[in-house]
Structure 1
Amino acid sequence: MDRIHLGRRQFIKQMATASAALAAASTLPGCMSLMGEKSTYDISLAQWSLHRRFFSGEADPMNFAQIARQEFDIGGIEYVNQFYKDTLSEALVQDLRARADRENVQSLLIMVDGEGALGAPSESGRKQTVDNHKKWADAAHGLGCHSIRVNAQSEGTWDEQRDRAAEGLVMLAEYCEPLGLNVLVENHGGLSSNARWLSQVMETANHPRVGTLPDFGNFVIDQEAGETYDRYRGVRELMPYARAVSAKSYAFNEQGEETTINFQRMIDIVMAVGYNGWVGIEYEGDKHSEAEGIRLTGDLLRRIKANRA
């Protein structure tokens, strides 16, 4: 892809905000509020919050919807493909959907990992990665999700990685568009955790089905070098393209406040763009049990929401 001049980038960024609002009104449960509508959010549960329980065999991933509703009274769920990669089939998808329907739980998205680099150096590599993702897009469609969450790994210079990742995302979005699915990129390590770079990827892709899933915590660009990106600036820069939000949490004090991330500040940033959608609990700490961490995160999000009402 050709480099886009700064003026065009600024124009596309402005248009992305408007198109996100239009897409939300027409294709999603709600992402950007319409004119005069007060923005708010519902609380969902990312399956990764329970990864130790599922990986250990203590719980069956097939019961995710039941756990979300009966243990935590949460009505929206975000699947992780790792728990189904060895058993994926049409019958499994139908079973998962039936279980979610029984619990009155909405299936929102599938987080897809381990299927290759969408920004692979070669065109053939990018095409293969897109092909690898198609089965998860089909599964997401079968579950009634609005999106799949993908990664934007690449190699090369800043510009090369930007253009390669954008090309791979557009290729996948073209497959997902007839399915009514969005392709969302999370800040998830490497250059994707540099929100300025990921924003440029969004502008370069310039596709109505390509967006972001800002995560409150994933802003480590290079762990060995200690390179990070300011989390508040990062979420602010990614929100104009957001179709989902991940409320990453690690630890809480006795007052029920997250000790690593200022949740009030984060939610203010999320709401500033008129976001109307789901905010997903993704507890990833070890100070509390998974169940306690999920409850503490949910309680904090509910308090902040109530105070905004």
Structure 2
Amino acid sequence: MKLCISSWSLRSEFGTDGIDMIEFIRLAKEEFGADAIELLPMHISPPTTPKPKGSFGGGEWEKMSEEERQAMFKRMMEHVRKIYKTRPTNLEEVKAALDKYGVKVMNMPLDYGDISNPDDETRKEDIEILKMWIDIAAFLGSKSVRVNTGFRSSEKDLNTIVSSYKELAEYGATKGVAVAMENHGGVSADPKNIVKIFEMVNHPNFRICPDFGNFDDDIRYEALDMIFDLNPILVHAKTYDFDEQGNQTRFDFGRCIEIAKKHGYDGYYSVEFEGQGDQFEGVRKTIALLRKYL
């Protein structure tokens, strides 16, 4: 089993009184037995400003009113923009820790910008920031970066999205970093859009990162079956909460694994625990599920 741990799984543990990226790398190897990580930019450097109150994970988002969601999203985006526009100053230390513990970076999820934006100037600015993070990914030896489809969610925006992905995939190829798309909301909530985007981009450096948890319940398994045909570079083994038997309760985790097996996938599974409660325990229970089915 090829095991990867996403820093998102321990999102609440990062902070002035918690762990930093160096400690996370150690934990991935020594606590969880993984030789690969997914590294979120917001977790690389020690925090200099407090994170906005609230979280998208752990069920908090579902409990909010629409007004609360919009206000929180605005605060989070302002915080994220500050992070992404600043190159971390501790990259050498992070790289040294990766070498020390024998851990590689499989992917860097980039939650920045809007590659669907019809405003050419604004979109170009976003793409330049994303290219800077591709450079950072290359420095850290990351195999890929994940770039979201953007905030426009109609099919007519596909041409803009495709053009942006082509530019990023071509740039990433010069750096040895693949550009990955995930089923992560917006137009990517529909697997038919994902397939269409891949057909239109048609670039060997453009890859898919299937996420077990992100499709709607009524299409989850059919949709995963469709996108596993698109040459995954990584799989998000997402979990939420568990029952007393250690089973993930939101959806059929084992069925998702069977779909991956059906398509001959033998790459890394990245643990992305997004449930409530102890996040360390959530990671351990997710690893146990992966071992059970793999």
Q: Which TM-score bucket, shorter chain as reference?
A: 0.7 to 0.9
Q: Deviation of residue 56 (structure 1)?
A: 6.3
Structure 1 portions without partners, runs of 5+: 1-40, 221-227
Q: Deviation of residue 157 (structure 1)?
A: 3.6
* Corresponding position of 1:268: 258
Count, aligned residues: 255
The alignment's C-alpha RMSD in Å is 1.9
1:197 matched to 2:186? The reply is: no
* Corresponding position of 2:61: none
User: Taking structure 1 as reference, are residues 237 and 53 closer, same or farther at Cα in structure 2, changes over 3 Å only?
Assistant: same
**1:108-187 equivalences in 2 (<5 Å):** 108-114=106-112, 116-155=113-152, 157-158=154-155, 160-187=156-183
CA distance in 1, matches of 2:184, 2:142: 21
User: Taking structure 1 as reference, are residues 244 and 229 closer, same or farther at Cα in structure 2, changes over 3 Å only?
Assistant: farther
* Corresponding position of 1:95: 93
Check conservation: 2:115, 2:127, Cα contact below 8 A. Answer: yes
**1:62-73 equivalences in 2 (<5 Å):** 62-73=22-33
Cα offsets for 1:264-309 (capped at 9, x unmatched): 11011112121121010000000x410110000001101211xxxx
Moved over 6 A (4+): none
Check conservation: 2:183, 2:214, Cα contact below 8 A. Answer: yes
Paired AA for residue 12 in structure 2: R
Check conservation: 1:154, 1:161, Cα contact below 8 A. Answer: no
CA distance in 2, matches of 1:154, 1:282: 23
CA distance in 2, matches of 1:278, 1:94: 25
- Which residue among 188, 195, 215 is the counterpart of 2:211? 215
Check conservation: 1:118, 1:126, Cα contact below 8 A. Answer: yes
Check conservation: 1:185, 1:211, Cα contact below 8 A. Answer: yes
Check conservation: 2:153, 2:186, Cα contact below 8 A. Answer: no
**1:73-84 equivalences in 2 (<5 Å):** 73-84=33-44
Identity across matched positions, percent = 31
* Corresponding position of 2:9: 49
Q: Deviation of residue 128 (structure 1)?
A: 1.9
User: Taking structure 1 as reference, are residues 109 and 174 closer, same or farther at Cα in structure 2, changes over 3 Å only?
Assistant: same
* Corresponding position of 1:58: 18
TM-score, length-scaled by structure 2: 0.81
295-304 vs 232-241, which moves further: 232-241
TM-score, length-scaled by structure 1: 0.77
Q: Deviation of residue 155 (structure 1)?
A: 2.6
* Corresponding position of 2:65: none
CA distance in 1, matches of 2:42, 2:94: 15
CA distance in 1, matches of 2:273, 2:149: 23
Structure 2 portions without partners, runs of 5+: 45-82
CA distance in 1, matches of 2:93, 2:132: 16
SS at match of 2:269: strand
- Which residue among 267, 272, 275 is the counterpart of 1:282? 272
